[in-house]
Amino acid sequence: METGIIALAAALAVAGGTIVGVYEAKVAIAAVEAIGKNPDASGKIQGMAIIGAAIAETSAIYGLLIAFLIIFILGA
Amino acid sequence: MELQPTVFYIIAIVVIIAVLLILINRKLVKFDPLSKPTGIVLLVMMGAEMVDKMVKEKTDEKAAKFLTPYIMTVVVYIFLSNIAGLLSFESPTSNYSVTLSLAAVTCILIEYYAIKANGLKRYMKSLAEPMAPFIIMNVISKASTLLSLSLRLFGNIIAGTVLMGVIYQLFAKVSSLIPLFAGFNVIGVVVAPVLHFYFDLFSGAMQAFIFITLTLSFIGKELPKDY
């Protein structure tokens, strides 16, 4: 019973990653469009796209961290 | 004190890298600079040129001299660690201690370049921007770089490893239901290579690339710019 609720809590913690996935795809779309319009700046756009995606990903990573904490501290 | 099993895999990976480097070095010494590069020599040259170009683009000339060997080391180590799953190793990067120490080196480099560019006094002052109580926020934002860099690499690799384990178990169960091949993992043999290609090779190369890109961008942000 208790294990099930802990597992559910961990799953909920990482569920925020789904939204991050959608918006990271938007970053990729914007980068591809920008490179299509301006192929010379592809190096700069690539770097910025990766940084933007990485910063957006941070929230998903915090979710992952909290899921780990729930599993290893509450579940142990 | 008990050693984690990953330690032996780390040592194995380091030995593999050392042997590879010795073999490649032997080829490079024999290579005639006027002839066309082929095979492994071409591969090494292309890799070195790519990293060299990337570092020069993101940082300045002076920092690039120091950073290029470090970035090359990191990318080779992370990539080989990520694809170690193909050799039925336990990936060193699926151990949080390894990724945390890799990210810690990056964070120390970021702070080093920030202090070098601004001077210690202005660096301390920039911590308390715009007001004194914001020092807590600034320290947290610096720690979040460390956390996000290490957890990104760790999360991706551990997810791949765990998923492959689950998939192997699932296929073993499914193929045990097939009457003729009982006890032999038939479906796993067919499907697993494709998934290994994605989770180990593609994801591993991607994460190594992202790690160095982020390292370079964070460092490049701190460097003084000449307009």
- Average pLDDT value for chain B: 86
State mean pLDDT over B46-54.
89
Contact between B181 and B212 under an 8 Å Cβ cutoff? The reply is no
Alpha helices in A38-72 (DSSP H): 42-69
In a domain, B76, yes or no: yes
Question: Exposed, middle or buried, B47 (CB in 10 Å: 0-12/13-18/19+)?
Answer: middle
> Where are the domains positioned within chain A?
2-74
pLDDT of res. B14: 92
Angle, alpha carbons B52-B93-A27 (nearest 5°): 60
Spatial distance between the Cα atoms of B25 and B21, rounded to a whole number of angstroms: 6
- CATH code of the region A2-74: 1.20.20.10
Q: Exposed e or buried b for every residue in B172-189, given b needs 16+ CB within 10 A?
A: eeebeeeeeeeeebbbbe
Q: Is A51 on the interface with B (CB under 8 A)?
A: yes
**DSSP reduced 3-state for B91:** coil
Residues with Cβ within 8 Å of residue B110, at least 6 apart in sequence: B145, B218, B219, B222
Domain that holds residue B42: 6-222
Whether residue B227 lies inside any domain: the answer is no
Pairwise CB contact (< 8 Å): A65 & B152: no
- CB under 8 Å to A27, separation ≥6 — which residues? A49, A52, A53, A56
The rounded percent of chain A whose pLDDT value lies above 90 is 34
At B136, the amino acid letter reads I
Neighbouring CB atoms inside 10 A of B164's CB total: 16
> ipTM of this model?
0.72
Place A32 in a pLDDT band, splitting at 50, 70 and 90. very high
* B133 min Cα distance to partner chain A (Å): 24
**Within-domain flag for B1:** no
- pLDDT, tens digit, for every residue of B117-145? 888 888 888 888 778 788 888 888 888 88
Phi, psi torsion values for A16, nearest 5 degrees? -60, -20
Separation of alpha carbons B31 and B96, rounded Å:
40
Whether chain B has a CB inside 8 Å of the CB on A5: the answer is: no
Q: How many domains does chain B have?
A: 1
Distance from CA of A32 to the nearest CA of B (A): 17
Residue type, B61: E
- Does residue B50 sit within a domain? yes
pLDDT in tens, B151-180: 889 988 888 888 888 888 888 888 888 777
Q: Is B38 domain-assigned?
A: yes
Residue B181 pLDDT: 66
